[in-house]
Amino acid sequence: MNWLFHQPTRAEKERDDIAELQESSPWLSGATARLIPGLKLAVDFTLAIGEDQLEFTLHYPDFFPDVPPSVIPKDPGRISGHQWGAGGELCLEYRADNWAPEYTGAMMISSSYRLLSGEAGDDKPPVPSAHNMSVGQEVRGSISRLLLTDSTKQHLLGVAPQEPVDFTFNDHWYAQTWFAQITSLALDGETFWSETPPYVEEIPTKRTGKAIRLRSDQRIPQSLTREKLQELMTGSPLEAWVRDQSPDVALSIILLKGGTVRLFSFFSDATAIKFETVDIPPAGERLPPSHAALAEKRVAIVGCGSVGSKVAVSLARAGVKLFELVDADLFYPGNIVRNELDLRAVGANKAKAVKREIIAVRPDADVTARNIALGGQEASDLTSGALKDLGKCDLIVDATADPTVFNLCALVSRNEKKPMAWAQVYAGGVGGLIARARPEIDPPPMFARAQIQNWYAAQNVPWLAEEGTDYDALPADQPPLVADDADVSVVAAHLTRLVIDTLTRGQTSIFPASAYCIGLAESWLFAAPFDTWPITYASEGTWGPTVEADAVERALAFMTGLLPKEEESEVAADAG
């Protein structure tokens, strides 16, 4: 959109206001309007600042007058302390954050004069800055950054003048940027501080270097060559170390001055890479206090597909750090449409790939990833071992929507008296189901699931999705379920909330029901998107394994009958 074609009256006013300003201001001359490529309006002008005649161009953007014009000097160097880099736009009192459509280009020219005349002369104090940039704005031009935690910074700033300190650091490439993270500090060969960086690759590049505080008469240079470094280190304890380094060997050094920490790394080039320092702010408490209990809970997630992968990572963000993941499938390109994983995981076992995502979110997580098909053709020992470990978890999530897997998870849940949660995404993206079964509060999972099926039938509304599908899991030989990432994410997010509630609140749940039918479209039972139907369980079934009244005595008799006579007494003693 070009404002000139829509507001010619405003364009004429801009021209006339600048002409009037030039006529009344001896410091302004040469104001000339012209069109630049793209049929954009620009005004060249000259400001008299002291004895200097400084030339500028006022550029009007396409979205003027709702967006401010920019004043750019023709001098390619830096002419002001309030400028976006050498040759860049002046940072004036009228900016994008306080601009109003009634402001004019003439006002921008006047503001430029006030700024530059206020800075002219060595005896004048700096012009106060209203410039408030975020850290992201300050470092956005850098592709090398040192991530500095508060602990790291405090220990570095405690280094005595001219006392060299050895340090180790990791670096990795991510989002078109090199990141460095210090891992340890040592003095005279003795490590006095170390830290495991919370932001690490699986196999980071590990490097070493030396840190030193500069003398009071030295400053940290904006750029650093090996020759300049040798000059800086002359007379310091690192003079010989720098001199003896081969140009072909990587060299890293941290220079300290006041509260500034700057990392430089030399590789094969004569000029070092300068890392912009990013102080990592304290994380602060962003989760409810009740979530602290999640760190001690082990959660089993059976099925690391579209629902399971999202639930796993979301639980890790919420505070869970103990996981048991079970899934034998591989990740394929077609899975990308609604899975937490990305194309880097193609060909990987889903359980192991989701483990990696959990570790990326929570590096201190303890994750067991089992690549087995629960309920499939597996060795009995593998299936038995997996079921045994599921029983040790504090909660079991079935994210497979597979009846066979559900039955196995339900068996463990009932026998070990462990809560279980599950979900289904209805075919066609119509909606989904989330449900749970809590020991001694809800019916055991098999009974709960049967009651949900009866509730479906009681609604007496025919299923309206694609022919040949229903609201249950699709057999493996049928086409993939049609639902997009948003559909799956809604169901997975609600299931995650149900899991967190179960682990942290017990009987004081915020959910009045333990199963919900959630609509995402006007279809089947649902009158509109987000139409939600709670499903209330009736009391039914008992928790715990089925035990016959005389089970112990009969089992003892059976086992002793299989053993040689001399071992019968040992069995009886063990049973007692």
| Residue type at position 49 | I
| DSSP letter assigned to residue 481 | P
pLDDT at 569: 60
Q: What percent of the chain has pLDDT over 90?
A: 71
- Alpha-carbon distance of 423 to 496, in angstroms, equals 10
- Average pLDDT for residues 456-468, to the nearest whole number? 71
Give the pLDDT band (50/70/90) at residue 567. low
- Assign 470 a pLDDT band (cuts: 50, 70, 90): very low
In terms of residues, how long is the chain? 576
- The whole-number pLDDT of residue 197 equals 78
In Å, how far are 90, 109, 128, 517 from 113, measured between CA atoms?
Answer: 11, 6, 15, 66
Asked whether the predicted pLDDT for residue 478 surpasses 70, the reply is no
**Mean pLDDT to the nearest integer, 216-241:** 93
Distance CA 389, CA 155 (A): 43
pLDDT digit string, tens, across residues 283-331: 888 999 999 999 999 999 999 999 999 999 999 999 999 999 999 999 9
pLDDT interval class at 469 (50, 70, 90):
very low
Looking at the predicted structure, is the pLDDT value of residue 229 above 70?
yes
Task: List the Cα angle 465/402/358 in 5-degree steps.
Answer: 105
Please state which of the ranges 34-48, 335-349, 551-565 shows the lowest mean pLDDT: 551-565
Query: Amino acid identity, residue 294?
Result: L
What's the mean pLDDT in 337-362? Answer: 95
Category of 454 on φ-ψ map: left (φ > 0), alpha (ψ -120 to 50) or beta: alpha
For residue 572 the two structure tokens come to 């009886």
Q: Is the peptide bond before 8 cis (omega within 30 degrees of 0)?
A: no
pLDDT at 200: 62
Band of the pLDDT at 573, cuts 50, 70, 90? low
Asked if residue 99 has pLDDT above 90, the reply is yes
- C-alpha span between 179 and 433 (Å, rounded): 42
Q: Is the pLDDT of residue 40 over 60?
A: yes
pLDDT tier at 541, thresholds 50, 70, 90:
very high
The answer to whether residue 347 scores a pLDDT higher than 70 is yes
Give dist(CA 302, CA 395) in Å, integer.
11
Better-scored residue on pLDDT, 130 or 254: 254
The arithmetic mean of pLDDT across residues 132-147, rounded, is 86
- Is the pLDDT reported for residue 232 higher than 80? yes
Say if CB 181 and CB 254 are below 8 A apart.
no
- How far is residue 488's CA from residue 430's CA, in Å, rounded to a whole number? 10
Question: Which amino acid is it at 243?
Answer: R
Residue 329 pLDDT: 95
Q: Which residues contact 100 (CB under 8 A, 6 or more apart)?
A: none
CA pseudo-torsion sign 383, 384, 389, 395: positive
* Alpha-carbon gap, residue 432 to 470, rounded angstroms: 12
Using DSSP's 3-state secondary structure scheme, residue 385 falls into helix
* Of 35, 52, 103, residue with least CA distance to 44: 35
Distance CA 21, CA 23 (A): 5
Confidence (pTM): 0.79
Which amino acid is present at 75?
Answer: D
d(Cα 322, Cα 114) in Å, to the nearest integer? 61
Cα-trace Rg, the chain:
34
pLDDT band, very low/low/confident/very high, at 127 (cuts 50, 70, 90): low
Residues 196-223: what's their mean pLDDT?
Answer: 85
- H or E stretch including 504? helix 485-505
Sequence-ordered list of residues with C-beta below 8 angstroms from that of 221, at least 6 positions apart, any chain: 228, 232
CA distance 500 to 299: 10
pLDDT over 70 at 576, yes or no: no
Q: Which of 143, 154, 114, 147 is nearest to 130 (CA)?
A: 114
Distance of CA 572 to CAs 407, 547, 562, Å? 35, 20, 13
pLDDT at position 101 over 90: yes
CA–CA distance, 560 with 365 (Å, rounded to integer)? 45
Helices within 163-322 (DSSP H only): 226-233, 239-243, 306-318
3-class secondary structure per residue, 32-86: EEEEECCCEEEEEEEEEECCEEEEEEEECCCCCCCCCCEEEECCCCCCCCCECCC
pLDDT of res. 416: 97
Strand partners, 169: 182, 207
Cα 461 to Cα 27, 337, 517, distances in angstroms: 81, 30, 14
In the numeric block, the tokens 């086992």 are attached to 559
SS3 573: helix
pLDDT in tens, 378-402: 888 899 999 999 999 999 999 999 9
Determine the pLDDT at residue 311. 98
- Work out the pLDDT band at 465, boundaries 50, 70, 90: very low
Q: Which long-range contacts (CB under 8 A, 24 or more apart) does 447-455 make?
A: 447/537, 447/540, 447/541, 448/514, 448/515, 448/537, 449/406, 449/410, 449/422, 451/535, 451/537, 451/538, 451/540, 452/515, 452/535, 455/535
**Amino acid letter, 181:** Q
Residue 467 confidence (pLDDT) above 50: no
